Amino acid sequence: MPGIKDATAVVGIGQTPFAKQLPESEKTLACRAILAALDDAGIAPSEVDGLASYTMEETDEVEVAKAVGLGDLTFFSKVGYGGGGSCATVAHLAAAVATGQATVGVAWRSRKRGSGPRPWKNTTVQLPTPAQWTRPFGLLRPADEIGMLARRYMHEYGATRDHLFNVALACRNRANQNPAAMMYERPLTREMYMTSRWISEPLCLFDNCLETDGALACVIVSAERARDCRQRPVYVHSAAQGLPAQHHGMVNYWNDDPLTGPAWTAARHLWKHADFTPDDVDVAQIYDAFTPLVPLSLEGYGFCGRGEGAAYTEGGALEIGGRLPLNTGGGGLSEAYVHGFNLINEGVKQLRGTSTAQVPGAATCLVTAGEGVPTSAILLRN
C-alpha cells in the first residue's frame, strides 16, 4: 500500500516576531508568515495550490489566497480542537501532495492570543456538552481542566512540582538561547517557580504557556520537488491524528482511564508506519500548553512506561545533552504560544541544523500537538 512515508518534505518555514502585543492584524501576520515561508523555500506564491490550517484560525483561505496572490487552490482543509490540530495541518498537506491533490501546500497559524481575548471568558458560546457538567462549578479554564488531571496524575504516580519544574526549566533554558523567543532574556530559577502565583493549584504561573501575538507557516512539496528547493529537505516520515474511543477532550474524566489520552492513539499509528522507534528520536518538540502535558506525552509516545513520565524528566533528561532534548526553541512555555506551530518550525530547524539550540547531528524529530484534546503528531527526518 503506498503511504506518505518520506513522500513529502517541508521545504520552507516562516514566522513573524512573537510578542505580547503586535500592532498588525491576524490577517496581516498570516500573510507575512506565509510569504516568509515561501521565500525560504524559493517557491512563488502563484504555485501554491494547497492550504491547511486550524478551525480556530480567523483568516480563511479566500482571504489568504487573494491577499498573497496564491494560484488556483485544489486542496484546502482545516483541523479542529485548537492546538490538537497543529501537526495535522502538515499531515493533511502531506497526504494531499502524496496523492496528487496538490503540489505545493502551505500550512499556517496566526493568532493574537497575547493582546486578544481569552477564549474561556466568552460565556455566550458555551457548548451545552460538556460545559454544562463543568463550568457552573467553576472549572472554567483549560488550566483548571488540565490541573484536575495533573493532580490525579501526581497522586497516582508520585509526580511532584519539581518534575513539572524540570519541564518549565528545559523550555526556558532553550528560550534563553533563542533571540526570537519571548522569554529570551528571562532566566527561570527553581525559587521563582516555587514561589510564583497559583493559576489553578496544582498548576502555577510557570506551568502555563505564554500568551502571544504571532504567526507561522511552512511549505510542503513532494520529495522529488524538494530536491530542487533552496533549503535542505526535511521529510515527513510518518503522521497521525488521534481521537481515542470514549475520549472527552480536556475534561476527560468520564472513561475508565482518564490519564491515557489521545497521545497513545496517535502514537500507535505513528510508530506503526515509521522505520524507527522512540529510542531513535534525536530531538522532540512536545506540545506544552501546560507542563503536565509533557510527562503524559512522553508516556503516550513511548519514551517511557505508564506513570514514568515525571521521573523521566529527572537528571537533565530534557536539556541539551540529555536523554531527549525537547522544545529547543523554548516551546509554548517560553518561546511563543501559537497553538504549537512554532514546535513544527523548530523541528524543521533542528533537522536543517540551524536551531539556536542545535542538537549535534539531529536526524530525527518527533513533533506533537496538544495532548488532552483530539491530537496529531508527525515524525520528521532529514
Partner 1 sequence: MTEPLLTPVLDDDGAPFWGYAAQGELRIQACADCGELRFPPRPCCPHCRSFGSEWRRMSGLGRVWSYVVPHPPLLPAYAALAPYNAIVVELTEAPHIRLVGNLVTAPGAPLDSFPPDRIRIGARVRVVFGGEGLPQWVLDGRS
Among 134, 178, 241, 265, binds partner 1 (CB under 8 A): 134
Q: Is 195 in the site for partner 1 (CB under 8 A)?
A: no
> In angstroms, what is the minimal distance from the CB of 202 to partner 1?
7
Q: How far apart are CA 316 and CA 41, in angstroms?
A: 35
Q: Is 261 in the site for partner 1 (CB under 8 A)?
A: no
Among 148, 210, 220, 250, binds partner 1 (CB under 8 A): 148
Number of residues that bind partner 1 (CB under 8 A): 41
Among 72, 185, 246, 272, binds partner 1 (CB under 8 A): 246
Which 8-state DSSP code applies to residue 81? S
Instruction: Give the interface segment with partner 1, choosing from 20-28, 145-153, 230-238, 363-371 (CB under 8 A).
Output: 145-153
With H, G, I as helix, E, B as strand and everything else as coil, classify residue 214: strand
Instruction: Give the interface segment with partner 1, choosing from 132-140, 225-233, 306-314, 345-353 (CB under 8 A).
Output: 132-140
Alpha helices in 69-117 (DSSP H): 86-98
Q: How far apart are CA 373 and CA 55, in angstroms?
A: 14
Q: Is 135 in the site for partner 1 (CB under 8 A)?
A: yes
Q: Is 372 in the site for partner 1 (CB under 8 A)?
A: no
Other CB atoms within a 10 A radius of the CB of residue 306 amount to 13
Q: How far apart are CA 227 and CA 240, in angstroms?
A: 25
What mask of x and - would describe binding to partner 1 in positions 101 to 120, judged by CB under 8 A?
-----------------x--
Q: Is 160 in the site for partner 1 (CB under 8 A)?
A: no
Q: Is 255 in the site for partner 1 (CB under 8 A)?
A: yes
- Whole-angstrom CA distances from 170 to 32, 149, 382 are 30, 22, 25
Q: How far apart are CA 219 and CA 210, in angstroms?
A: 26
Q: Are 258 and 371 within 8 A, CB to CB? A: no
**Known catalytic residue: 253?**
no
**Known catalytic residue: 287?**
yes
Residue with cell 533537522: 351
Q: What are phi and psi of 296, to 5 degrees?
A: -60, -45
Q: Are 154 and 202 within 8 A, CB to CB? A: yes
Q: Is 78 in the site for partner 1 (CB under 8 A)?
A: no
Which active-site residues does the annotation give?
287, 337
Q: Which residues bind partner 1 (CB under 8 A)?
A: 118, 121, 123, 126-141, 143-144, 147-149, 151-152, 155, 197-203, 246, 248, 251, 253-256
